[in-house]
């Protein structure tokens, strides 16, 4: 399996995408990840190793944990942002649904807008959104910032066919 196939496969799991999110701004150990995801550490370690092998996670300097054991925190490399993965849509939707599970409705800011745009205007809009997301993805984390997420989907509206 070549690197691009291995990377696409690594990103085809909602659990691995959640691990990357948890390690985006702060290095976390396998135990910390298992606790955050309510999983067995052995299960988490399998996924961490997959992300390490494909370059999506990087091991940080080992540290000594509370019980004196050597711990290795892992930090996301941000390689996933520019990695092409075929048929990623359903995985992203499932990841999103898992990540918002348990949030209160007032913790979600949701907008839904129906438009009728020609192909040029649709592409212009998508291009502007991509540029905006790319701009923010390239910014360093604010030292006083709070973790936040954006999930954006553009899709055809099949509920109201366009009259011919």
Averaged over successive runs of 10 residues, the pLDDT of the chain (164 residues) comes to 88 96 95 95 96 97 88 96 91 94 92 94 96 94 93 83 59
Per-residue pLDDT, 164: 58
Per-residue pLDDT, 154: 85
List residues bridging with 76 in a β-sheet: 57
Residue appearing with tokens 């366009």: 162
How many whole angstroms separate alpha carbon 37 and alpha carbon 86?
A: 26
How many whole angstroms separate alpha carbon 133 and alpha carbon 137?
A: 6
Closest by CA to 115, choosing from 71, 154, 65, is 154
Per-residue pLDDT, 155: 85
Q: Quote the pTM value.
A: 0.86
- Domains and their CATH numbers in the chain: 3-108 (1.10.10.10)
Residue 88 near residue 12 (C-beta atoms within 8 A): yes
Per-residue pLDDT, 66: 82
Residue 80 near residue 20 (C-beta atoms within 8 A): yes
How many whole angstroms separate alpha carbon 79 and alpha carbon 46?
A: 19
């Amino acid at each position: 399996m070549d690197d691009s196939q291995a990377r696409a496969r690594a990103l085809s799991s909602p659990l691995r995408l959640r691990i990357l999110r948890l390690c985006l701004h702060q290095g976390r150990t396998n135990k910390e990840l298992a606790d955050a995801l309510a999983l067995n550490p052995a299960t988490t370690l399998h996924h961490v190793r997959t992300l390490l092998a494909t370059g999506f996670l990087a091991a940080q300097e080992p540290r000594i944990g509370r019980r004196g054991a050597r711990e290795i925190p892992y930090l996301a490399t941000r390689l996933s942002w520019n990695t092409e993965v075929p048929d990623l849509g359903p995985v992203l939707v499932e990841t999103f649904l898992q990540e918002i599970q348990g949030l209160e409705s007032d913790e979600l800011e949701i907008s839904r807008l129906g438009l009728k745009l020609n192909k040029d205007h649709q592409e212009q809009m998508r291009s502007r959104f991509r540029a905006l997301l790319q701009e923010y993805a390239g910014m360093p984390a604010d030292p006083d910032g709070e973790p936040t997420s954006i999930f954006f989907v553009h899709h055809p509206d099949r509920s109201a066919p366009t009259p011919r």
